[in-house]
Amino acid sequence: MARYGKEHKQATRQRIIETAGRRFKKDGIDGSGISTLMADAGLTNGAFYAHFASKDDLVAATVADQLRTQYANIIEQAAPGIAGLEQIVRWYLSPQHRDSPDDGCPSAALLDEVGRCADETKQAYTDGVLAVIDGIAARLAPTDPRSVRTKTLSVYAMMVGTLQLSRALADRRLSDELLEEGVRNALTLLSAQPPATGG
């Protein structure tokens, strides 16, 4: 019976994290109170502290979970090498991703708020986003992914900004064109060789 209790508690905690991820991406971290988050999970407010020490604790766990999910569903599923790189970029900068922020990238939905969060959340974000970046970098430079980590992070930042801007534009056609241009720019930057140094 105790074993079931532990598994049940873990499943309940995961349900809270998953529903919180959708709510945070929809309404923002600051715009999502504990009562709303618990109602989304079908639980009472009183159950919150059985699973999390604080809202910051939940936010950090949710950010980590969102990035793990992005890694598992997008990065791990992409083909190796340049073909996979193109799959990732095209998925990221797609109209479908633009139109479904609740199920999309936590960076595009929450980056400005994560920057104002507690160190615990920033660390969870850093660890999670670097796993995503390293998965992309492994396709760009399979023999030495660390050598292209910062370049990949920079292109990822451009993709996040492009997706955010595409969501904010009232002009649908312009938004679609921006996404297409973003795909071209990202693939160009990722395939470009660094300039030769020295004389």
Q: What predicted TM-score, i.e. pTM, was given to this entire model?
A: 0.89
Residue 95: count other Cβ atoms within 10 Å of its Cβ: 13
Query: Is a pLDDT exceeding 90 seen at residue 197?
Result: no
Is the pLDDT higher at 8 or at 59?
Answer: 59
Predicted confidence band at 2 (pLDDT cuts at 50, 70, 90)?
A: very low
How many angstroms from the chain centroid is the CA of residue 101?
10
139 class by beta-carbon count within 10 Å (0-12 exposed, 13-18 middle, 19+ buried): buried
Contact call for residues 132 and 71 (beta carbons, < 8 A):
yes
Nearest to 121 by CA among 172, 76, 72, 66: 66
- The one-letter amino acid code at 162 reads T
In percent, the amount of the chain with pLDDT more than 70 equals 94
Q: Span 1-13, mean pLDDT?
A: 77
Model confidence over 74-113: pLDDT tens digits?
A: 999 999 999 999 999 999 999 999 999 988 999 999 999 9
Residue 197 tokens read as 């140094």
Model confidence over 11-46: pLDDT tens digits?
A: 999 999 999 999 999 999 999 999 999 999 999 999
Predicted confidence band at 4 (pLDDT cuts at 50, 70, 90)?
A: low
At 5 the pLDDT is 77
